[in-house]
Amino acid sequence: MTAIPKKTAIPKKAREHFRLNAVSRKTEAAFHLVLGIFALACIIPFVFVIIISFSSEDSIRRIGYSFMPQAWSLAAYEQVFRLGDALWRSYFNSFFITVVGTVISVVMCILYAYPLYRKDYKFRGFFSFLSFFTMIFGGGLIPTYIVCKDLLGMSNNYYALIVPMLVSPFYIIIMRTFFQTTVPFDLIEAATIDGSGEYTTLVRVVLPIMKPGIATVALLTALGYWNEWFLCLLYVTDRKLYPLQYLLMEMQRNAEFLARNSSMIGASGADAIRTLPSQTMRMAVVVFIVLPIACAYPFFQRYVVEGLTIGSVKG
């Protein structure tokens, strides 16, 4: 038998050489640990929600929420599907609001941010200030409510769920910064010299370079719309318009309200509690809410990472 040749060890110096551009091993380990814990902290609650949604109601009654329920059950999902129309309509509403809201919002954001980036625009300062001002000073909840509902007629319609969130000064600033860092002004001059008009320049020259920036803002806006329930609480009472988030929110609020006031409402409150969605069902609805947006994430992610690294000086 021949002796197995020893693996030739890479000299220590050479190993160091590979790591010239990296942080030290200790720092890296610490980073990994911190980020790992952070990632777990993000994922575990959701895993927990999924487990609860599959636990049997009886098990929860006996031992409370647990990673290891005494018995599994699909009852919660059966209940959710029994919601029927209410569920699918809410699903549609959520999608509709998110898609329409995101498209309009991103278009408005681009159209606002682009002139702010153009150094040759005369009222740049004024419009920058106009958007920035609303970031710091808001009208407060009640005046906003009165203006939206009484003056602009946003009640019980899709407007109310889309319009109040259309323009975000924060995203405008992000977008403008993207323009500044990715689109050299020379490019626009070159396009102008080649005979391109303003709109052609924006659509055919500038926007294609801006894809990562647009994707980032679009993702953030879409997330905002998807998770929104407060607008619905304020302006919508028609249950046909409820987005999924609010459907869940309402289940939760109903349960809490009845628990708080049970002695006031008396026996008819007890009946109401009996017909309330079970705890596992509420968790199943959470799963329904998270799934679509979680599925959309990977598609955006590439651009978001690009968007974060683009424009900076690369080593």
CA triple 51-55-56, angle to 5 deg: 170
Asked if 189 is part of the footprint of another protein (rule: CB under 8 A), the reply reads no
- The closest of 174, 287, 165, 289 to 230, measured between CA atoms, is 165
Tell me which residues in 266-285 interact with another protein (CB under 8 A). Answer: 266-268, 270-275, 279
The minimum distance between CB 215 and another protein, in angstroms, equals 33
The minimum distance between CB 90 and another protein, in angstroms, equals 11
DSSP state of 150: I
Among 50, 234, 290, 293, binds another protein (CB under 8 A): 234
Question: 250 and 242 in contact (C-beta within 8 Å)?
Answer: yes
Among 257, 294, 299, 302, binds another protein (CB under 8 A): 257
Tell me which residues in 197-226 interact with another protein (CB under 8 A). Answer: none
* Interface map 124-153 toward another protein (x if CB under 8 A): ------------------x--xx--xxxxx
Which of left, alpha, beta for 3 (phi over 0: left; psi -120 to 50: alpha)? beta
Q: Measured between alpha carbons, how far is 34 from 27 in angstroms, rounded to an integer?
A: 11
Q: Measured between alpha carbons, how far is 109 from 98 in angstroms, rounded to an integer?
A: 16
Phi, psi angles (nearest 5°) of residue 228:
-75, 130
Asked if 157 is part of the footprint of another protein (rule: CB under 8 A), the reply reads no
Give whichever of 239 and 302 is closer to another protein, judged by the CB atom.
Answer: 239
The minimum distance between CB 126 and another protein, in angstroms, equals 8
- Would you state the torsion angle of the CA atoms of residues 177, 178, 183, 184, taken in this order, to the nearest 10 degrees? 30
Give whichever of 39 and 233 is closer to another protein, judged by the CB atom.
Answer: 233
List Cα–Cα distances, 246 to 229, 250, 251, in angstroms.
5, 6, 8
Give whichever of 153 and 184 is closer to another protein, judged by the CB atom.
Answer: 153
Asked if 262 is part of the footprint of another protein (rule: CB under 8 A), the reply reads yes
Q: Measured between alpha carbons, how far is 225 from 223 in angstroms, rounded to an integer?
A: 5
Asked if 2 is part of the footprint of another protein (rule: CB under 8 A), the reply reads no
Q: Measured between alpha carbons, how far is 115 from 129 in angstroms, rounded to an integer?
A: 13
Helix (H, G, I), strand (E, B) or coil at 244: helix
Asked if 240 is part of the footprint of another protein (rule: CB under 8 A), the reply reads yes
Among 251, 281, 285, 289, binds another protein (CB under 8 A): 251
Among 37, 74, 99, 259, binds another protein (CB under 8 A): 259
Binding interface with another protein (CB under 8 A): 61, 64, 85-86, 142, 145-146, 149-153, 233-234, 237, 239-240, 249-254, 256-259, 261-268, 270-275, 279
